[in-house]
């Protein structure tokens, strides 16, 4: 099967389970009006952001090969981005947070292939190519920020989600799709809006993923840098919004110092932000990220990490003190005094790994029906099993062919015949396998002899817990692609006629054979048939002024009259100012 994107030294490293999120850019689907919207936004951005954006922005536009004149082609961007160790792929709107973060961990930007409509030219509720390509890509030319973004993806992809996180993701995705499509029914939009608001108000305790998404939003998407009195923009959401990039600099928007506390500040993706957070420099972003990572299950482990995984009801991994990793859907934990873990249990497909590599013979084919194991010390024995030498194991009867009874301090008991043990390369024992084995916790039977071979994971404690599998190859297809697809906008014959005029003006602008008569004819058709369009008259006026055509005054007067419509009055004024300044 032909790949949807050009493989390079970056994208070739993507794990197979991420490939399903990648879509073809379908460049021909962009209308001439889409191209004009791109040009308008980018020209406004470059003009305004040169004054208020971080210095890396304008430099980054050149480095990443992003043109002001036309929507970038993904393959062209890729060829340039690989020079700074990054790549880009097209995706269909919002993708699940863990997948988004994982792409980032591999130095790959995910770029929503769609383009905002003219009705959302100042701000779009859906991710689009302006936001992704012109917002995210330029700033990664800064090495300090690029490493922060990669590291954020690496840590964020391990954040444990809750079931509500996926609900809110699907709800926001649907709302953004409906809001961006001009053909959506108003009652559908309102119902989707109410659902998002209800879920946002009833999220309960924020999961790790919800918190780290907040950090991502207030930095990568809506971050300011510098000082409270003199901030600069670096967040992609601000860099790509000609409305919010201006609004965010006003006193009405609170400016607050960025800190780890921002993890608990939620956001509404469909509205302008009431406050923004300022980092003194990009290095500080990494300090806060590491501070937050120290609170995550991946670093704290223990009973709390297991409980988070159980609540998530999704694929996750725990690592024990020996280094053995158990990946599956965790459904039960037995605890005893001082919040210690006595026993853990997965349900369904499970894989056992060490150092993120599946142990031979212990993949999902072997452990189809779940996995459970005790953790901790044996009763009456000071030496931990994981610290026992082969000689110690033999002394305690834990030896191949021996029928033994083991009792843990927690009350878990194992009796069975030892078959073999599995060790890592340094000799650390990771697993002990039994036959004819029975495992109990007081009156509760945890494993019966007739169930087959029992594998006991060795470890005195859970040292880490994180989302996803330890070995990305263990599970075939665990991450979900949303069933709700971005809706292809259906255009009327009238709209298609307007787009042909846009295309003709673009051809005139790009050719050396400028023709005043042709431009006047287009203007007359536009004036008579498309009186609600404001962007094409601006493009015609720009060409008329540039070439000193006599009818430029007529077009200017027409644009002044169009400003009676308040919905695009400011857009026309800004366009006229830009044309006059240049």
Q: Give 109-159 pLDDT, tens digit per residue.
A: 998 888 988 988 887 777 889 888 888 889 998 999 999 999 999 999 999
Q: Give per-residue pLDDT as tens, 145-198.
A: 999 999 999 999 999 998 888 888 888 888 888 888 888 899 999 999 899 888
pLDDT of residue 2: 47
pLDDT tier for residue 478 given thresholds of 50, 70 and 90: low
pLDDT of residue 501: 96
Q: Give per-residue pLDDT as tens, 403-429.
A: 999 999 999 999 999 999 999 888 889
pLDDT of residue 114: 87
CB 414 within 8 Å of CB 374? yes
pLDDT of residue 505: 94
Question: pTM of the entire structure?
Answer: 0.88
pLDDT of residue 125: 73
pLDDT beyond 60 at 485? yes
For residues 333 and 461, what is the distance between their CA atoms, to the nearest angstrom?
13
Q: Give per-residue pLDDT as tens, 91-115.
A: 988 888 888 999 999 999 998 888 9
Six token digits for residue 24: 């073809």
CB 432 within 8 Å of CB 399? no
CB 280 within 8 Å of CB 227? yes
pLDDT beyond 50 at 88? yes
For residues 358 and 532, what is the distance between their CA atoms, to the nearest angstrom?
62
pLDDT of residue 294: 98
pLDDT tier for residue 224 given thresholds of 50, 70 and 90: very high
Mean pLDDT, residues 241-265 taken together: 92
pLDDT of residue 177: 85
Nearest Cα to 438, choosing from 458, 456, 422?
Answer: 456
Residue 543: CB atoms within 10 Å: 19
Which segments within 150-214 are labelled E, that is strand?
none
CB 371 within 8 Å of CB 351? no
Nearest Cα to 519, choosing from 532, 528, 506?
Answer: 506
Mean pLDDT, residues 487-494 taken together: 86
For residues 552 and 550, what is the distance between their CA atoms, to the nearest angstrom?
5
DSSP H helical ranges for 484-567: 493-510, 516-529, 535-546, 552-562
For residues 465 and 159, what is the distance between their CA atoms, to the nearest angstrom?
9
How high is the mean pLDDT of the chain?
A: 91
pLDDT of residue 317: 98
Q: Give per-residue pLDDT as tens, 526-552.
A: 999 999 999 999 999 999 998 899 999
pLDDT of residue 1: 40
Q: Give me the residue label for tokens 């009006």.
A: 33
CB 316 within 8 Å of CB 160? yes
pLDDT beyond 70 at 479? no
Phi-psi map region of 93: left, alpha, beta (phi>0 left; psi -120 to 50 alpha): left
For residues 527 and 555, what is the distance between their CA atoms, to the nearest angstrom?
9
For the chain, the farthest-separated pair of C-alpha atoms sits apart, in whole angstroms, at 103
Nearest Cα to 174, choosing from 190, 192, 194?
Answer: 192
User: Could you tell me which residues come within 8 angstroms of residue 24 by beta carbon, excluding any fewer than 6 positions away?
Assistant: 4, 90, 113
Q: Give per-residue pLDDT as tens, 2-45.
A: 455 556 677 888 888 888 899 888 899 999 999 999 999 999 98
pLDDT beyond 90 at 471? yes
Mean pLDDT, residues 317-328 taken together: 98
Nearest Cα to 247, choosing from 503, 462, 21, 48?
Answer: 48
pLDDT tier for residue 477 given thresholds of 50, 70 and 90: low
Between residues 243 and 499, which one has the greater pLDDT?
499
pLDDT beyond 90 at 504? yes
* CA distances (Å), origin 294, targets 210, 234, 255, 288, 555: 16, 26, 26, 10, 61
For residues 356 and 325, what is the distance between their CA atoms, to the nearest angstrom?
8
pLDDT of residue 11: 80
HEC per residue, 419-433: EEEEECCCCCEEEEE
Mean pLDDT, residues 37-64 taken together: 90
């Amino acid at each position: 099967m032909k790949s949807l994107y050009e493989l390079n030294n970056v994208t070739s490293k993507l794990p197979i389970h991420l490939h399903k999120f990648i879509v073809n850019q379908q460049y021909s689907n962009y209308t001439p009006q889409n191209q004009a919207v791109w040009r308008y936004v980018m020209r406004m951005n470059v003009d305004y952001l040169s004054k208020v954006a971080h210095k890396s922005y304008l430099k980054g536009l050149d480095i990443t090969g992003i043109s002001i004149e036309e929507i970038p082609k993904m393959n062209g961007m890729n060829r340039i981005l690989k020079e700074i160790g990054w790549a880009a792929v097209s995706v269909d709107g919002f993708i699940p947070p863990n997948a988004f973060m994982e792409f980032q961990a591999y130095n790959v930007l995910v770029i929503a292939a769609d383009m905002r409509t003219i009705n959302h030219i100042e701000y779009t509720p859906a991710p689009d190519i302006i936001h992704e390509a012109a917002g995210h890509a330029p700033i990664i030319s800064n090495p300090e920020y690029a490493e922060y973004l990669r590291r954020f993806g690496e840590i964020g992809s391990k954040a444990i989600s809750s079931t509500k996180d996926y609900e809110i993701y699907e709800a926001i995705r649907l709302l953004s799709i409906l809001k961006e499509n001009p053909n959506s029914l108003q009652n559908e939009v309102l119902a989707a809006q109410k659902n998002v608001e209800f879920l946002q108000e009833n999220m309960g305790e924020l999961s790790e993923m919800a918190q780290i998404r907040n950090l991502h939003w207030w930095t990568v998407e809506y971050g300011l840098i510098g000082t409270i009195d003199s901030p600069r923009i670096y967040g992609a959401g601000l860099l790509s919004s000609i409305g919010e990039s201006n609004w965010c600099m006003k006193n009405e928007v609170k400016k607050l110092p960025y800190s780890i506390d921002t993890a608990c500040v939620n956001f509404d993706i469909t509205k302008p932000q009431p406050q923004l957070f300022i980092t003194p420099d990009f290095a500080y972003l990494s300090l806060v990220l590491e501070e937050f990572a120290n609170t995550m299950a991946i670093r704290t482990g223990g009973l709390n990490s297991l409980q988070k995984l159980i609540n998530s009801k999704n694929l996750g991994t725990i690592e024990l003190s020996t280094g053995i990793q158990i990946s599956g859907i965790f459904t039960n934990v037995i605890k005893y005094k001082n919040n210690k873990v006595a026993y853990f249990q997965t349900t369904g497909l499970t894989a056992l790994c060490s150092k993120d590599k599946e142990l031979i013979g212990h993949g999902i084919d072997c452990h189809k029906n779940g996995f459970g194991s005790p953790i901790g010390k044996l009763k009456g024995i000071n030496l931990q099993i994981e610290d026992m030498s082969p000689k110690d194991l033999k002394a305690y009867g834990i030896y191949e062919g021996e029928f033994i009874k083991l009792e843990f301090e927690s009350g878990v008991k194992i009796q069975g015949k030892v078959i073999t043990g599995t060790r890592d390369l340094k000799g650390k024992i990771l697993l002990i396998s039994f036959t004819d084995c029975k495992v109990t916790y007081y009156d509760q039977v945890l494993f019966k002899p007739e169930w087959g071979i029992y594998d006991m994971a060795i470890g005195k404690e859970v040292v880490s817990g994180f989302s996803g599998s330890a070995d990305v190859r263990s599970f075939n297809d665990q991450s979900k692609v949303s069933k709700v697809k971005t809706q292809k906008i259906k255009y009327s014959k009238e709209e298609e006629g307007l787009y042909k005029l846009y295309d003709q003006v673009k051809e005139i602008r790009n050719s050396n054979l400028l023709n005043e008569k042709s431009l006047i004819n287009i203007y007359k058709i536009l004036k008579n048939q498309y009186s609600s369009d404001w962007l094409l008259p601006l493009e015609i006026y720009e060409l008329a002024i540039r070439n000193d055509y006599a009818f430029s005054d007529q077009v200017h007067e027409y644009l002044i009259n169009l400003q009676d419509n308040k919905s695009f009055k400011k857009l026309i004024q800004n366009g006229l100012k830009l044309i006059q300044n240049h």
